[in-house]
């Protein structure tokens, strides 16, 4: 019988942990020792390449100390009119961003990787297209009041798996990727990795 290999999610993201847990994957979660802000500030390239670089750095930073484990790294970069928008630091900042995105389209450049033996062995890149609807000021006020500090947890300030879906008029892309992980292709790859017997 093949040896079981531990799976480590190089992230403390609540939404990513929930996706894996709901899919029945047994894993450990570790916050990667990566300074995202400094990496972003010094990066020269597209937002897609930035998301991939961050995902790889996260996975490899954990894989260095856990070489025999399957390490999943992921990141998302919200791009709007050529500018990168990070997680809003305050509810006020989130409100300002929502007003900018209103009735317009932005992209959520997303990258997920798997590292094994300190090497990246799999990459998945997607860029869901997000059209924000022409909502009223009253709606936005009520949304921010209900969401509270949750708007500071994600790059866009929204959780489409909850009431954040009401911000949008159209979405093109994989639901799970937007939430945090492309779980279907990820599971397919995990099944193919020899000895990944933890995937039933």
Cα 2 to Cα 57: distance, rounded to the nearest angstrom: 29
Helices (H) and strands (E) in the chain, counts: 7, 8
Task: Name the 3-class secondary structure at 90.
Answer: coil
Q: Choosing from 75, 109, 137, 174, which is the catalytic residue?
A: 75
Strands (E), 10-128: 28-29, 70-80, 83-85, 105-116, 119-126
**182: exposed, middle or buried (C-beta count within 10 Å: 0-12, 13-18, 19+)?**
buried
* Dihedral angle computed from the Cα positions of residues 64, 51, 156 and 72, in that order, rounded to the nearest 10 degrees: -40
DSSP letter at 3 equals: P
Q: How far apart are CA 65 and CA 32, in angstroms?
A: 11
Q: What's the residue count for the chain? A: 200
Residue 109 known to be catalytic: no
> Residues with catalytic annotation?
75
């Amino acid at each position: 019988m093949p040896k079981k290999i531990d799976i480590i999610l190089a992230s403390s993201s609540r939404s990513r942990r929930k996706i894996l847990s709901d899919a029945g994957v047994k894993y450990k979660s570790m916050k990667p020792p990566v300074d995202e802000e400094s990496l972003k500030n010094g990066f020269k390239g597209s937002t897609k390449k930035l998301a991939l670089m961050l995902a790889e750095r996260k996975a490899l930073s954990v894989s260095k100390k856990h070489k025999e484990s399957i390490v999943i790294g992921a990141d998302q970069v919200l791009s709007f009119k050529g500018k990168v928008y990070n997680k809003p630091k305050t509810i006020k900042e989130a409100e300002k961003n929502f007003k900018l995105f209103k009735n317009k389209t932005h992209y959520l450049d997303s990258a997920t990787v798997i590292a094994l033996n300190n090497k990246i062995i799999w990459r998945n890149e997607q860029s869901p297209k997000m059209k924000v609807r022409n909502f009223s000021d009253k709606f936005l006020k009520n949304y921010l009041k209900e969401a509270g500090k949750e708007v500071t947890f994600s790059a866009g300030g929204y959780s489409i798996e909850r009431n954040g879906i009401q911000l949008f008029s159209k979405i093109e892309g994989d639901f799970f990727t937007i939430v945090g992980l492309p779980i279907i292709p990820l599971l397919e790859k995990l099944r193919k990795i020899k000895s990944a017997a933890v995937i039933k």
